[in-house]
Every structure is written in structure tokens, then in C-alpha cells.
Structure 1
């Protein structure tokens, strides 16, 4: 048995970095995904109240999801991620979308999703 074992180690060639390539790839992919999340949301055009009202009415009547960008900047001056969901209800101050209450005056841009 020792001859077989010795033969194995004599013939064995280490693949060196090739065997670690999969780990680097998955790490690299994870870093890229984190960077995508950190990228600021694009600044969308400011819609008029009439345009916002039309899109919200259409979405509410047809039970279609909306994508809303709030008029809110973080400490670095970037817009936050869009809020996506169906309009669950509304009152005189705002709408309820995806568990969030959004005031009408906070909406910068809205589109059907």
C-alpha cells in the first residue's frame, strides 16, 4: 500500500491557484453586488402634481404596482431606493404602498411598474 501511496504523491501535480478560482469568483461577485446596492439611485424627472395624480389614479383603479421616488436625499445628497408595490389605500395626506406611508408632497416621480 505504501508503494501505491508513494506513486500517487510522485504523480500528483498541484493546480495551485486554479483550485481557488471558484472562491475568488464568488467573492468578486458578492463585492460587485454590494457595490450595485451602494450606487445612488438615479435622479428622475420632477413630475407635476397633475401627472402624479393621473398615474396614481390609474394604478389604484387597475391594481397595478407603482414605483415611487421620494423627494428625499440622504446625507450624501443621493436619492434613496424606489418604493415598489401596490397602492393599499390612501387618505387626505398620502398613500400606503408596500407597508410605507408616502405623503403626496413627498412624491418626486411615480410610474407604473
Structure 2
């Protein structure tokens, strides 16, 4: 090694994590802040199939928006955001709400918006 190179490494002080702090993109930091602020969706009461069917039938006939909580938990044990919209159709397995197919057995709670 040359003397100049030896001198450089003798004088160099690593800044550790400080040197990596500038590599976060604004999209990453915005996403991290959004996740910190996100409140988990509250668990709504489990409705019976008779109650669910009555609300869905009335909403479909009167073209009223519904809010549906699915019986589905994320990896942290929280319920996802409600699916909100008009019932566009149905079949023997489920309903269609704003492009989402929701099986009848997936519905935990439904209410008018």
C-alpha cells in the first residue's frame, strides 16, 4: 500500500448509521408514518345469518350503500377496513360489492351506510 492510502485509513472515522439515513425515499417515510397512524378497525358484533340476509335483501332492493366487515384477520389479529359500496349482484355463493366478491360465509357484520 502507498503511504497516502495508509494515511487515509488511519484518519477515516466511520459515521455508522448516519451515512445510511439519507437513503430513505419520501414514499417510504410517508408509508411508515401512515402505518404508525393507522388505527385498527374495531371488532363489530357477529350477526346471525338471518340478520345479514335481511339487511342485504333490503339494501339490494332499495339500492342503499352497505358497510361490510369480513370475518378475516390480518397477521396482527386486526379486522380489515370495511368494504363500502352498492350491492351490484349476487349468486348462490356470495354478493358483489363494488367489484369485490364476498362470500356469504365471510360476512361478519353488515349495515347500511
**TM-score, normalising length: structure 2:** 0.69
Does 2:39 align with 1:78? no
Cα distance in 1 for partners of 2:80, 2:63 equals 24
Aligned twin of 2:108: 108
Which segments of 5 or more consecutive residues in structure 2 lack a partner in the other structure? 1-29
Cα distance in 2 for partners of 1:41, 1:98 equals 20
Aligned twin of 1:69: 69
Aligned-CA RMSD value: 1.6
Secondary structure at the counterpart of residue 77 of structure 2: coil
Does 2:59 align with 1:59? yes
Aligned length: 82
**TM-score, normalising length: structure 1:** 0.69
Which segments of 5 or more consecutive residues in structure 1 lack a partner in the other structure? 1-29
Cα distance in 1 for partners of 2:89, 2:69 equals 18
Task: Give runs of ≥4 in structure 1 deviating > 6 Å.
Answer: none
